[in-house]
Structure 1
């Protein structure tokens, strides 16, 4: 397979930029063009040869097209390519006011100052970020960490691949009759084991035939150090979404013995986001997977322990101040002086039998990043009006022929951030269908059609759809919490002044993030009244640690 292309488009600076990009020549095919038309010719040649374009760089001054219009033409031909303006020093500030608004519309990905000297690592840091994002979301992994061997049509295969890639582990799937499939089966049977599918081979763990995603989590991460928790820890965090990860980083960094219990993949719902563009400090955006794995590694560096695949089934509160809370899990008993509940929320189920039967066979809950690559040429439907749905639609539009966002409301503006609404409006592959809901779906072995109901008139129409992504809002999971921990009518945990007065102690409300069970706190989406944003969840995770310190103080 040919190397992916970095295309440099400039009438005046092509040679300079080609030299500047020389450090990428080993892994990428560097090409130049002097105009927008020349760039289109190069793109056509790459596509005809079966190649791919990873990055297009222009200097913001093309002889035959406005720079933003050129990006629009190029994106129509190679929608997955990342796009950059590298403006020369003399035009960087002059053009900024005109070109930078295009970033908010998603017309291109970065506005950079062209390097003026050697080792401009600020420039190349931005470039490598974009190439890394392209490599993790578009290109097939060059080197696999996890190999899955399975025949087509197994829903569990898709779920496992989604899990491993959310955990930052490059994964490839092979049919049993491929060379890689036969090799893995032979290795498995040579160990005296019976083959069933899906069959996994993990880097240093040999082969494995899981029955559930949780089996995979335990196989990957269960080591002698993570299968027992003998001591009483200062802080047990249940859930490793943004709130739980922030609590782990701050708790461990401040000397608390910290354990994080996560039943599924690190990152929670945020971990499925293809690109979070409004998180502080990431001007070019960051994928939920990368943000989550960086936070996990940061917490581990400070000494936090992660017990992945451990589902908490019950919390037995300490009988008195200074006592020990008991967390009952599938992996054993965890004893903690304080507990932070950060389990987040799950997507609500659609509840349509024809659709539910096809989960993993064209129907996905969440943005299912790994499934996006397989939607090329598909007509895709995204159901949901929140930011996660908007991010999913924009990512899917890089691959699918069409993407339709369906919502029951009259518009997206009520529930989605303005920057996403603007980017969706600009993207010609995305349409928004309001005041509708999915009534039914079906197909021969996988999704092929949907029945769509107008919520005002009740009229049902049938349409083609080869993929459906359901992002239907928040459903809390806290059946494992004790009955005396107060929750609202929807099941979200009450904290601080939201606790009814009869739940106050000594006529004083609990602390801001404290629950009605002393020594138990709640942060992030599981908390009633939370903002349902990554940044606010992270802030609550950090803010809860001083409250934990106060609780643990003599």
Structure 2
């Protein structure tokens, strides 16, 4: 493997030479600087680099090129090197191009030609792209090998953990020849899956999620035992709080038990988020927020499950499932909600083996030419139906209500109506699931007629209700009868402050019944269940944290 590559693409020979010259002057000792005169020529170069196993750090492409413009090229380049950072070169203030670049290829930066002096207009942008690439998982672990069973719940959880945390991996089925050879080489049996092999040759047999996260380079241990702010939960609200907390000078750590992004991170495309008129995938949004939080100095701890919150004077202490603890002056609870269990005969035993909660995008390829059933009537279910319709022969969306309008955004309802292989079934629920080692059939119940029908299905995705992850807070903060956490005015029953409240003031708007513990996003009682509002609450919570810390 050679030095990592910086690639520039421009059909103007003078501009192409200037870009390469400026890049070599600053980065030539550590990186190879390559240039191409067209999109097709650059793609040929990228394919050769891929075959040789070389790494591509960043690609700078001119927008206006013949044959293939910069956006079209960057979109194809993403398929070859998805973690390479991307910049668009343009001599025009082209708003349409900017919007398309953000939404189609998740461009990292724009450079207006000319960029003189490069010390002010070129190098700072490229420095940021290099730093982002270095922090991305594949800069540490380039080729994790995962051996597992197709219909194994632990194997699915391992794949899902890697995919949702943007860790590249190669999947091998234990039922196929190459998978069996890897098991034999690792002196493992089919009962030891999932089997993980790192590029350094480290072998893990049936690892825990924390063990898997640690070996692939994800952060699982805190650098300190005390912080200004601990954020619990890595969805939009938690990421918003981490970005604003760290950017405003608070020593901040975010704790997440699975992967950053939360339920929103599993959405194939969010189309009503401000500033993204063509939509943005949940994973792209989560990746940008994750990088932004790290840029400002926030720590991100993954696969850490909080089991208790304690108050010791002005100190707030979180206790983890493994017995570890972490303390802070203030806490933001942004734990979100979990999809409610389907709760029908057969479903629990088939979870991860045909029955999935959330989008489970790692299953998309396996749905090719299959029948897919999606349960739910809100936006997350609609987005999943649109996504899986690209792969499946047919997608059947089950809604227990008489219409989608009560719970789904209008734009999604229109999209679903326009997709020929999506079928919406109202007043319909799942009564039972069937299968031996994996899902094979689903029994449906029509609430209007009371009739049951059993249909073949290998994939069932569940998006029903939302249960807050707050049982570990029982007795510490006030919760409502559904487990959501009231804050601010919601705590002032009959004008009285909550029991045990020791301060002379009322709780702040997002403050729980325990001073210094704030709540943001879906877990907060009466919150608006939208990505934009969750991000806004995360930011607002940090403002209130500052106010609280100023009282001490």
Cα contact 2:156–2:352 (8 A) shared by 1: yes
Give the unaligned 5+ runs of structure 2: 1-36, 48-70, 74-88, 108-137
Cα contact 2:240–2:539 (8 A) shared by 1: yes
Deviation for aligned residue 1:219: 3.6
Change (3 A) 1:242 1:27: farther
Q: 1:484-536, CA deviations, whole angstroms, 9 ceiling, x for partnerless residues?
A: 41111111000011114243457864111001100000000100111111111
Question: Which residue matches 1:525?
Answer: 522
CA distance in 2, matches of 1:511, 1:117: 49
Deviation for aligned residue 1:339: 0.5
Question: 1:19-168 residue pairs with structure 2 within 5 A?
Answer: 21-22=39-40, 25-26=43-44, 123=97, 126=100, 130=104, 145-168=143-166
CA distance in 1, matches of 2:234, 2:186: 33
Change (3 A) 1:127 1:494: closer
SS of residue in 2 equivalent to 1:532: coil
Cα contact 2:222–2:299 (8 A) shared by 1: no
SS of residue in 1 equivalent to 2:472: coil
Q: 1:424-459, CA deviations, whole angstroms, 9 ceiling, x for partnerless residues?
A: 010001010000110011124221211111223322
Question: Which residue matches 1:97?
Answer: none
CA distance in 2, matches of 1:280, 1:489: 33
Give the unaligned 5+ runs of structure 1: 1-18, 30-81, 85-114, 134-140
Change (3 A) 1:184 1:255: farther
Deviation for aligned residue 1:293: 1.8
Question: 1:382-461 residue pairs with structure 2 within 5 A?
Answer: 382-461=374-453
SS of residue in 2 equivalent to 1:353: coil
Q: 1:201-257, CA deviations, whole angstroms, 9 ceiling, x for partnerless residues?
A: 23457221234434423443566xx52454421000111110000100000011101
Is 1:284–2:275 an aligned residue pair? no
Is 1:246–2:240 an aligned residue pair? yes
Q: 1:356-403, CA deviations, whole angstroms, 9 ceiling, x for partnerless residues?
A: 211122111101111112101111110001111000000000000000
Question: Which residue matches 2:202?
Answer: 206
Question: Which residue matches 2:127?
Answer: none
Question: Which residue matches 1:260?
Answer: 254
Change (3 A) 1:262 1:221: farther
Change (3 A) 1:280 1:549: same
Matched pairs, number: 439
Cα contact 2:310–2:476 (8 A) shared by 1: no
Deviation for aligned residue 1:296: 1.1
Deviation for aligned residue 1:310: 0.9
Deviation for aligned residue 1:195: 8.0
Cα contact 1:499–1:509 (8 A) shared by 2: no
Q: Name the stretch that deviates more: 446-455 or 20-29.
A: 20-29
Is 1:357–2:349 an aligned residue pair? yes
Return the TM-score normalized by structure 2.
Answer: 0.73
CA distance in 2, matches of 1:211, 1:353: 30
SS of residue in 1 equivalent to 2:285: helix
Q: 1:317-349, CA deviations, whole angstroms, 9 ceiling, x for partnerless residues?
A: 233xxx211111135110110000000000000
SS of residue in 2 equivalent to 1:174: strand
Cα contact 1:495–1:516 (8 A) shared by 2: yes
Change (3 A) 1:195 1:433: closer
Question: 1:504-523 residue pairs with structure 2 within 5 A?
Answer: 504=498, 509-523=506-520
CA distance in 2, matches of 1:336, 1:116: 46
CA distance in 2, matches of 1:292, 1:144: 21
